[in-house]
Amino acid sequence: MKMMKKTLLAASVAALASSAAMADISDGKLKIGVLADMGGVYADICGQGCVTATEMAVEDFGGKVLGMPIEVISADDQLKPDVGSAIVRKWVEDEQVDVVGGLVSSAVVGAATKVLTDAKKIALISTAASNAFTTKQCSPYNVHWTYNVAALANGTVQPMVDAGNKKWFFITADYAFGHALEDVATKVIKENGGEVVGVARAPLSTTDFSSYILQAQSSGADVVALANAGNDTVNALKAASEFGLTEMMSVAGLLVFTPNAQAMDPNVAGGMRTTTGFYWDLDEQTREWSKRFMERHGSIPAMGHAGAYSMTMHYLKAVEAAGTDDSDAVIKKMKEMKPDDFFSRNATLRADGRMVHDMYYVEIKKPEERRDGDDIFKVLSVIPGDKAYAPILPECNFK
């Protein structure tokens, strides 16, 4: 009889413990929102690919956490801050979304993270470039994973200035991301003995870059820096070639994603140098994951796709370790745990939410160097994270 009572007591304790664990997942499920540009200039670099990568992470994790199902939903921000913030507000207030990933356009991300911080929800930023989210707009709920403008500038600009390219002209995307990239790159140029001889700012989704290219041609620059991304970079480089600019001076793509590099004529883009946080063909680990991604998505992954998978997996591991989906407990675990996967090399998630990891200085391959259409980058050097990223600011040290 005593033994039976002990057994029943133990069973009751176990059941209560199990119920308590389950109760720590709010609303009976963990819900992940993926907000991205699904049909515009940045669709290829995150878009549906970030949804696919997030779903892959959920499936690889087992589809459940702490006994509760994981659901992924997504929406198109249309590259409009008001649209993005409205979607996020509806998600957290009406649809019980626990965390938001994707997050591409820096202007949209700035609006969305304000809503998420007010709601005490975590932002998993995979593809935005601005460093504002761990500096002037830092938040205890921001996690900035893949890269930022500081890493791009330190990776690409400094070695070119050191090689004697002292005069720079910028063609800049005229919104938060472009301004931030131009500002950080300008600082690197000046600190290393160079100068900026001119700037032309082009609206997002510009199709005619002719006037900006003509300004660059007459500037006397050694390098024209494309401080833009996505199809804007492709169109700017195409115009540079058509006007003969690529024969007159070097062109630096400060942010070139693999889908956009694929869209460029290798006879024009070959030899251009840039910095990336991930390359699908780096080694066996990256190739194994990328093969699975390609089977589902139909194209090689950009760094934002790989970053979306990596940060989602790290988030889910932190939820499991914390025993809850409470944002404060989860973010604490995320910063305690070391990111370590095919994407996160020599990585740490700092107290400001910046994930510091190895970056890669690469060259776009010339036609004769390519074995096929997916063979795009040649890795020139590995940039250690502590060299690529700016130090943490005291006011953003959320311990």
The residues near 33 (Cβ < 8 Å, ≥ 6 apart) are: 72, 73, 74, 75, 87, 88, 91, 95, 97, 99, 100, 101, 102
Say whether both 199 and 338 belong to one domain. Answer: no
For the whole model, what pTM was predicted? 0.90
Say whether both 262 and 287 belong to one domain. Answer: no
pLDDT at residue 167 greater than cutoff 50: yes
CATH number at residue 305: 3.40.50.2300
Say whether both 138 and 38 belong to one domain. Answer: yes
pLDDT at residue 130 greater than cutoff 50: yes
In a domain, 3, yes or no: no
Helix, coil or strand: residue 113:
helix
In a domain, 110, yes or no: yes
Say whether both 373 and 254 belong to one domain. Answer: yes
pLDDT at residue 203 greater than cutoff 70: yes
Cα–chain-centroid distance for residue 323? 27
- In tens, the pLDDT along 215-271 reads 999 999 999 999 998 889 999 999 999 999 988 999 999 999 999 899 899 998 999
Cβ–Cβ < 8 Å for 376, 261? yes
Say whether both 41 and 139 belong to one domain. Answer: yes
In a domain, 191, yes or no: yes
Rg of the chain (C-alpha set):
22
- Average pLDDT (366-370) is 96
Cα–chain-centroid distance for residue 115? 20
In a domain, 17, yes or no: no
Computed over every residue of the chain, the mean pLDDT equals: 92
In a domain, 212, yes or no: yes
Determine what percent of the chain is predicted with pLDDT higher than 90. 88
Q: By C-alpha distance, which of 47, 51, 46 is closest to 32?
A: 51
Q: How far apart are CA 348 and CA 135, in angstroms?
A: 17
**Residue 176 confidence (pLDDT):** 85
Say whether both 240 and 376 belong to one domain. Answer: yes
- In tens, the pLDDT along 21-63 reads 444 888 899 999 999 999 998 999 999 999 999 999 999 999 9
Phi-psi region of 29 (alpha: psi -120 to 50; beta: other; left: phi over 0): beta
Q: How far apart are CA 58 and CA 141, in angstroms?
A: 21
Spell 363-385 as b/e; 16+ CB within 10 A means b: bbbeeeeeeeeeebbbeeeebeb
- Average pLDDT (86-90) is 98
Say whether both 305 and 321 belong to one domain. Answer: yes
Phi-psi region of 244 (alpha: psi -120 to 50; beta: other; left: phi over 0): left
pLDDT at residue 6 greater than cutoff 60: no
pLDDT at residue 354 greater than cutoff 50: yes
Q: Which domain holds residue 89?
A: 28-147+282-357
Say whether both 307 and 200 belong to one domain. Answer: no
Say whether both 142 and 42 belong to one domain. Answer: yes
Say whether both 371 and 264 belong to one domain. Answer: yes
Count the domains in the chain.
2
**Residue 193 confidence (pLDDT):** 95
- In tens, the pLDDT along 273-288 reads 899 999 999 999 999 9
- In tens, the pLDDT along 317-330 reads 999 999 999 999 99
Say whether both 258 and 202 belong to one domain. Answer: yes
Helix, coil or strand: residue 312:
helix
